[in-house]
Amino acid sequence: MKAETLGAQTLRLEDYKKVNPIHPTGGPDGGKDITAETAGGLKTVGACYFPNKADEKTFVKVCEKFSDDLAGALKNNAKVFVFLSNVQIADGEQKHLESLGAQNCHIEVYDLDRITQILNSPKGFALRFQILEIKMSEEEQVSFFNSWEMILANELSRLSEHVHEMKNDMNENSNKSGSEDNNQEFQIFRQITTSEKKNFKSGKFYKILSAC
């Protein structure tokens, strides 16, 4: 189902780790649609509620589904429960849902407005096209590539720091056996990262992303 796929990808965009949709095409899920972890390593269970009929979008129906899914999350020893829905849930209603699990686990509610906000941001443009087939406008394309430029720059900076750490470790172990092989591997790795930096600066990453 697109609901589980959208839910899982949304959690990835929100920096959840080890995101795993359980039977997205249908089948028994053991009381959980999605399993994941927070950035801090807390066990997370996600549930998706994407009804099509208007009478299924009332807050009463939302509460029923939320309560059932929360029970499944607690049964699976979740420390965080994420409820994703295409229903617009008012702030007061969200607080009520959050209070239902306050003593047992942390609650996060992603309603229609919150999911829409994510999909209409640069990080969500690709997912929006994948699920809803909504193309980017020219302005959104500029915003998308600018955001990727920042992401790639941060990754290159992180990679450069890692290379320096590797070099320092190798220098400390220079008198040990195999140091010559290690230095050779380091030189190869440095050449690769230098090449990647040149590609980034010359705009080749834009061509790669455009072809995706």
pLDDT band at 207; cut points 50, 70, 90? very low
Residue 202 has pLDDT above 70, yes or no: no
Look at residues 84, 105, 69 and name the one whose alpha carbon lies nearest to residue 8. Answer: 84
The secondary structure of the chain in percent helix, strand, coil, rounded to multiples of 5, reads 60, 15, 25
Residue 134 has pLDDT above 80, yes or no: yes
Structure confidence by residue, pLDDT tens digits, 154-181: 667 777 777 777 777 777 776 565 555 5
Structure confidence by residue, pLDDT tens digits, 46-58: 999 999 999 999 9
Q: Is the pTM of this model over 0.75?
A: no
Q: What would the mean pLDDT of 119-142 be, rounded to a whole number?
A: 84
Look at residues 79, 110, 109 and name the one whose alpha carbon lies nearest to residue 96. Answer: 109
- Residues composing the chain: 212
CB-CB neighbours of 44 under 10 Å = 25
pLDDT of residue 55: 92
Higher pLDDT among residues 25 and 75, named by residue: 75
Residue 208 has pLDDT above 50, yes or no: no
pLDDT band at 212; cut points 50, 70, 90? very low
Residue 203 has pLDDT above 60, yes or no: no
Structure confidence by residue, pLDDT tens digits, 67-123: 999 999 999 999 999 999 999 999 999 999 998 876 778 999 999 999 999 999 988
> Between β-strands 34-37 and 43-49, what pairing exists: parallel, antiparallel or unpaired?
antiparallel
Residue 34 has pLDDT above 90, yes or no: yes
Q: What would the mean pLDDT of 185-204 be, rounded to a whole number?
A: 52
Look at residues 44, 38, 41, 40 and name the one whose alpha carbon lies nearest to residue 16. Answer: 38
Q: What is the mean pLDDT of the chain?
A: 80
pLDDT of residue 175: 57
pLDDT of residue 23: 67
